[in-house]
């Protein structure tokens, strides 16, 4: 098997005992499987939940707290306990565990985005296991969004992973709830995720987790958009992750012939950068962008909305009001308002570094698949 970069996400239900406390036997089972993958030569990045589940008992709560403040306090206690357990377990196999606590803001800032990529890449080059969790003590997104499912998809995308493995307490996706419907049939493979599947998916089945199949389907769809294949399921033992990579996993494989992975800069523009405004363009500029692979020039701009600065990211809409793409702009909004519709040579004096383009092709991402007619 060729060397692969694999992101493994472990949910709370796969780490805790029936009372909601951290189960060291379950944790060790996961660590042993990750260590085996690394021994086979693969790069592995672990996205782990479990900080709240590990911390609410020692903090004195009889069950998982329901308030945001209670969850964040439990996470503050539990994160260190969780990392102690991981560090001790990985050390038994000769691997060093490295902790990274993230918030969604780390994906919005281009500088932090690039620094994060460099840090994780360096850790992998030195044989460490990056262990990532959302910073639950200061961020409420993991506590309300889906047990790190979407975070794992974002990490898999920007690291150009070959596979995202979402380990859960159910062995894959079914056409009905297998816990209530004995006739439910499991999907061994899905080429894509539809809106109907997401609407039909329920919430979390676990009292100690926040994720459910809906959040996993949303994460899978996001990962697929990055060109990352996905597995959702379960497993036990040292070889469970290796089996999943070889197509023998107990769960559901999701994907199709995967598209070429995005360059990191364009991925940041498309999915992470805050959008500061909107530019409306005419049909000629739309054709140039979508059909002829050209940059956007001032002559094709018909309207400007928002108070953006040069090098901010903006949405680009056509004459029908449809968003066709997104890009990093060389003009501030006020300056672009002055030069919209004008030739590039007249307009470039107002742009960043006197560039003739409003959005250069290298800073452009198409968000609409279909082409316009000539």
- Answer whether 272's CB lies under 8 Å from 157's CB: no
- Answer whether 44's CB lies under 8 Å from 129's CB: yes
| 52-71: average pLDDT | 88
**324 confidence band (pLDDT: 50, 70, 90):** very high
- Answer whether 130's CB lies under 8 Å from 100's CB: yes
Nearest to 241 by CA among 24, 51, 100, 39: 39
**Maximum CA pair distance of the chain?**
71
169 annotated ligand-binding residue: yes
Task: Give, as one character, the DSSP assignment of residue 158.
Answer: H
- Answer whether 351's CB lies under 8 Å from 359's CB: no
- Answer whether 265's CB lies under 8 Å from 321's CB: no
234 annotated ligand-binding residue: no
Phi-psi domain of 67 (left: phi exceeds 0; alpha: psi -120 through 50; beta: other): beta
Q: Is the pLDDT of residue 327 over 90?
A: yes
210 annotated ligand-binding residue: yes
**211 confidence band (pLDDT: 50, 70, 90):** very low
Q: What is the 3-state secondary structure (H, E, C) of 276-335?
A: EEEEEECHHHHHHHHCCCCCECHHHEEEEECCCCCCCEEEEECCCCCEEEEEECCCCHHH
Q: Is the pLDDT of residue 369 over 50?
A: no
pLDDT of 139 reads: 56
Round to whole Å and give the CA distance between 313 and 372: 23
**356 confidence band (pLDDT: 50, 70, 90):** very high
- Answer whether 75's CB lies under 8 Å from 52's CB: yes
Complete DSSP assignment for 235-251: --STTHHHHHHTT--EE
115 annotated ligand-binding residue: no
Round to whole Å and give the CA distance between 146 and 128: 27
pLDDT of 261 reads: 60
Pick 324 or 187 by higher pLDDT: 324
What's the token pair of residue 96?
A: 């060093």
| 105-112: average pLDDT | 79
Any idea which of 151-155, 180-184, 259-263, 356-360 has the lowest mean pLDDT?
Answer: 259-263
Q: Answer positive or negative: Cα dihedral of 285, 290, 291, 292.
A: positive
Round to whole Å and give the CA distance between 100 and 133: 7
Q: Is the pLDDT of residue 289 over 90?
A: yes
Please provide the CATH number assigned to the domain covering 5-264. Answer: 3.40.1160.10
**Helix (H/G/I), strand (E/B), else coil: 178:** coil
CATH topology for 274-366 is 2.30.130
Q: How many other C-beta atoms can be found within 10 angstroms of the C-beta atom of residue 95?
A: 20
49 annotated ligand-binding residue: yes
Compute the mean pLDDT over every residue in the chain, rounded to the nearest whole number: 87
For the stretch 5-50, pLDDT in tens is 999 999 888 998 888 788 999 999 999 999 999 999 999 999 998 8
Q: What percent of the chain has pLDDT over 70?
A: 90
Ordered by start, the domain boundaries in the chain are 5-264, 274-366
216 annotated ligand-binding residue: yes
**281 confidence band (pLDDT: 50, 70, 90):** very high
**85 confidence band (pLDDT: 50, 70, 90):** very high
9 annotated ligand-binding residue: yes
């Amino acid at each position: 098997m060729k060397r692969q970069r694999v992101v493994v996400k472990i949910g709370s239900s796969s780490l805790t005992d029936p009372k909601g406390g951290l189960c060291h036997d379950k944790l060790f089972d996961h660590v042993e499987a990750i260590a085996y993958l690394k021994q086979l030569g693969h790069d592995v990045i672990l996205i782990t939940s479990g900080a709240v589940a590990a911390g609410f008992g020692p903090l004195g709560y009889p069950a998982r707290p329901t308030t945001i403040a209670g969850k964040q306090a439990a996470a503050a206690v539990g994160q260190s306990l969780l990392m102690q357990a991981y560090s001790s377990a990985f050390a038994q196999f000769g691997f060093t565990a490295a902790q990274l606590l993230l918030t969604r803001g780390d994906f919005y800032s281009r500088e932090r985005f690039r620094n994060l990529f460099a840090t994780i890449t360096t850790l992998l080059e030195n044989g460490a296991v990056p262990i990532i969790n959302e910073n639950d003590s200061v961020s409420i997104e993991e506590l309300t969004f889906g047990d790190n499912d979407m975070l794992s998809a974002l990490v898999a995308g920007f690291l150009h992973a070959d596979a995202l493995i979402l380990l859960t307490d159910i062995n894959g996706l079914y056409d009905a709830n297998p816990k209530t419907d004995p006739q439910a049939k499991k999907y061994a493979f899905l080429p894509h995720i539809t809106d109907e599947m997401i609407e039909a998916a329920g919430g979390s089945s676990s009292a100690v987790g926040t994720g459910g199949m809906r959040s996993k389907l949303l994460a899978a769809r996001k990962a697929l958009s990055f060109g990352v294949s996905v597995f959702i399921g379960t497993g036990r033992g040292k070889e469970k992750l290796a089996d999943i990579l070889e197509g023998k996993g107990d769960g559901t494989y999701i994907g199709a012939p995967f598209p070429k992975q995005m360059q990191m800069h364009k991925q940041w523009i498309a999915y992470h950068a805050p959008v500061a405004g909107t530019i409306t363009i005419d049909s000629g500029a739309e054709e140039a962008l979508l059909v002829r692979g050209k940059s956007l020039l001032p002559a094709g701009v018909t309207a400007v909305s928002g108070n953006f600065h040069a090098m901010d990211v903006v949405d680009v809409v056509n004459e029908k009001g449809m968003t066709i793409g997104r890009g990093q702009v060389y003009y501030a909004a006020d300056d672009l308002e002055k030069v919209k519709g004008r030739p590039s040579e007249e307009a470039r004096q107002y742009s960043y570094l006197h560039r003739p383009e409003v959005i250069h092709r290298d800073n452009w991402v198409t968000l609409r698949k279909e082409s316009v007619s000539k």
